[in-house]
Amino acid sequence: MIRALADAWAGQPDLSITQLLMQVENHHGGPGASDEEFLHVCQALASRYMARLPNGADFPVDAAYYLRTCSAEVIVNAQSVAILREGSAPSMWRYNSVGSAEVGNELVLVDSNLHRYAYGRVKSIRPAGTNNQLVKTSECIALISATGSTLWFQGRRATEILRLRDTPGALALGEVMMLGGRNCGIVQGLMSF
């Protein structure tokens, strides 16, 4: 029980113990709860506010995680990482392994050449949803949400940003993505979050 409470707290280290216990109580794990109910609430909190990112064989193939660091928002799945920074185009690339991904520590990802890339201290980790999609094509990177799409086309000297209310519908690798009557290139990478 203490381990379950510690795991629930590890993903939210900025909370005081009182705040954490209030959170457990708000999810029906308070003083009137059975040991099983308390344990279930702590496990649910630990899965919602994770302390560390799974790595290697422990990383679920079909899962994606959303990490907030002090310098970026990062989406990671079993093969790829997407970096979203305010004021710049997102980037997406394949990584080889997770060097470090734990709340309170530096997020470090390693590529196939064993180069390490640091993205700042991890503030939070949670399972990613499926409401948004980042698409890398041969021509652009697109951020697709329920309300529309933002596309970044990298030119020689400048980046063209196109905001549309359209969404492309279902996409698959190798298909051409059309948006607003424009050929946006062949889909090379997809990531939902």
CATH code, 79 = 2.30.29
Q: What is the pLDDT of residue 82?
A: 94
62 and 42 within one domain? no
Q: What is the pLDDT of residue 66?
A: 93
Q: What is the pLDDT of residue 140?
A: 96
120 and 70 within one domain? yes
Residue type, 191: M
121 and 146 within one domain? no
Contacts with 40 (C-beta within 8 Å, 6 or more apart), sequence order = 29
Strand order in the sheet with 64-69: 91-94, 80-84, 73-77, 64-69, 116-127, 106-110, 97-100
Intervals of the chain under pLDDT 70: none
Q: What is the pLDDT of residue 155?
A: 87
CA distance 113 to 86: 28
Q: Which of 28, 48, 68 is the last residue of a domain?
A: 48
Q: What is the pLDDT of residue 156?
A: 86
67 and 102 within one domain? yes
CA distance 11 to 175: 39
77 and 120 within one domain? yes
60 and 44 within one domain? no
Determine the 3-state secondary structure of 120 from DSSP. strand
Q: What is the pLDDT of residue 191?
A: 92
How many domains does the chain fold into?
A: 3
Distance of CA 88 to the CA centre of its chain: 17
For 152, the domain range is: 133-192
151: its two tokens: 């596309």
